[in-house]
């Protein structure tokens, strides 16, 4: 699972890079696109960092950082789409992947939190 998610977040970052490269050169598209590029390529970095976490709390923090970047990436994708800068097909594919990764990251955080909770006396 770990290596699969590492590969998947890397593919996601590369898809974001390719999408950014294909955006119109208009100022508005480039400004929004740079924001998407920054957040979309950070997801995998956060997940990679989480694999070297020093504690469960550190792991959760790093995964939640990736989750925040995914939420932000979804926002920039929505803006680019609604402004008419994205082909519908590219938007739909990346938005779906964003949402699926959000679900995976939320599940990881929940499972980790439930594993580390200790019963109260």
pLDDT band at 11 (very low <50, low <70, confident <90, very high): very high
Q: What pTM did the predictor assign?
A: 0.91
Residue 121 clears pLDDT 50, i.e. is over it? no
Could you tell me which residues come within 8 angstroms of residue 101 by beta carbon, excluding any fewer than 6 positions away? 8, 9, 12, 43, 70
Instruction: For residue range 74-110, list pLDDT tens digits in order.
Output: 999 999 999 999 999 999 999 999 999 999 999 999 9
Q: Looking at residues 58-84, what average pLDDT do you find?
A: 98
pLDDT band at 2 (very low <50, low <70, confident <90, very high): low
Enumerate long-range contacts of 100-103, CB under 8 Å, 24 or more apart. 101/8, 101/9, 101/12, 101/43, 101/70, 102/67, 102/70, 102/71, 102/74
Token reading at 65: 């950082």
| Domains located in the chain, CATH noted | 2-113 (1.20.1440.60)
Mean pLDDT of all residues belonging to the chain: 94
Q: Looking at residues 59-81, what average pLDDT do you find?
A: 98
């Amino acid at each position: 699972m770990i290596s699969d998610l590492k590969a998947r977040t890397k593919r996601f970052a590369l898809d974001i890079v390719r999408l950014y490269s294909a955006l119109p050169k208009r100022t508005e598209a480039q400004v929004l696109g740079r924001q998407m590029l920054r957040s979309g390529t950070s997801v995998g970095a956060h997940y990679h960092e989480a694999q070297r976490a020093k504690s469960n709390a550190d792991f959760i923090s790093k995964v939640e950082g990736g989750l925040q970047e995914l939420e932000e990436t979804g926002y920039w994708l929505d803006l680019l789409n609604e402004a008419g800068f994205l082909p519908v097909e590219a938007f739909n594919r990346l938005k779906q992947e964003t949402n699926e990764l959000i679900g995976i990251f939320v599940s990881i955080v929940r499972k980790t939190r439930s594993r580390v909770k200790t019963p109260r006396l």
